[in-house]
Amino acid sequence: MSEPQEQKDSVIDDRAKFLADYFEDAFALLIEIRDDAYAKAVRPLKEEQRAIAQESGEIAESAGNLDPLLAAKERIAHLQADSLLLDGKEEESQAKLAEAESARNAPAAMRDRQLELEARYRAIEDEKEVVARRVAEAWWGECQKITRAVEHGYFITLLDGLKQSLSEFKQRTGTVALDSRFQDIRIHDLTADADSPEWSSGCGWYKVW
C-alpha cells in the first residue's frame, strides 16, 4: 500500500529542512574551527602584550615621582663618597660614586626600557597578523573540503541527476510525444532566476573563461 501524498510531502519537507540545517551547522562549525585556532595561536602573544602594557604603565606612573628621589639619592651618594675618600677608603668611595652614577642614569634607563617595550608591542602586532594569515590559509583548505563535497552533491548528483532522470522519464512514459504541455517543464525552473540573490552570488563564485 502506497504512502499518502501528505506523508510523502512531509518527508520531502523534512529532507529540505535537514539540508538547510546541515549548511547552517557546517558554516557554524567552520567559523568555530577558525576562531578557536586563531585564539589558541595568539593567546601567548596577547598575554605578553598585557604584561608589556602593565610594565610600561608602571614605569610611566613612577617616573615622575622618582626624579626628585633619585636626584637626592645621587647627592647623598656623592657626599658619602667624599667622606669615605677623606677617610682613606678609596674602594668604598668608588662604590658610592657608582651608586650615584646609577641614580643619575635611572630615568634614562627607564625611558630606554619603555622604548624597548613599545617596540616589542608593535612587533607582536606584526606577529599576530602573520598568525592570522597562517590560520586563514589553513582554514580555507578545510572549507574547500566541504564546499567541494557540496558542489558535487548539488550540481552532479542532484541537478545533473534530476535532468537525466527527467529525460529518461519522458522517454519511458512517452510524454515527449503524447503530452506537449510536458515540454514546458524545464530543468532550469529548479534553480533561482537571474534576478535572484542566489544567481548573483553564484556568478561571483565561478569564473567563466
Confirm whether 151 is domain-assigned.
yes
Confirm whether 170 is domain-assigned.
no
User: Which domain range does residue 21 map to?
Assistant: 5-162
Confirm whether 143 is domain-assigned.
yes
Confirm whether 137 is domain-assigned.
yes
Q: Is the pLDDT of residue 168 over 70?
A: yes
- Which of residues 70 and 198 earns the better pLDDT score? 198
Contacts of 70 (CB under 8 A, 6+ apart): 103, 104, 106, 107
- Assigned C-alpha cell, 52: 608589556
Confirm whether 60 is domain-assigned.
yes
Question: How many Å apart are CA 158 and CA 173, to the nearest integer?
Answer: 21
| Per-residue confidence band for 38, with pLDDT thresholds at 50, 70 and 90 | very high
Confirm whether 187 is domain-assigned.
no
86-97 confidence digits (pLDDT tens): 667 666 656 665
Confirm whether 156 is domain-assigned.
yes
Confirm whether 43 is domain-assigned.
yes
As a whole number, mean pLDDT of residues 73-102 equals 62
Number of domains within the chain: 1
The model's pTM is: 0.67
- Which of residues 104 and 190 earns the better pLDDT score? 190
CA distances from 179 to 36, 59, 166 (A): 58, 89, 14
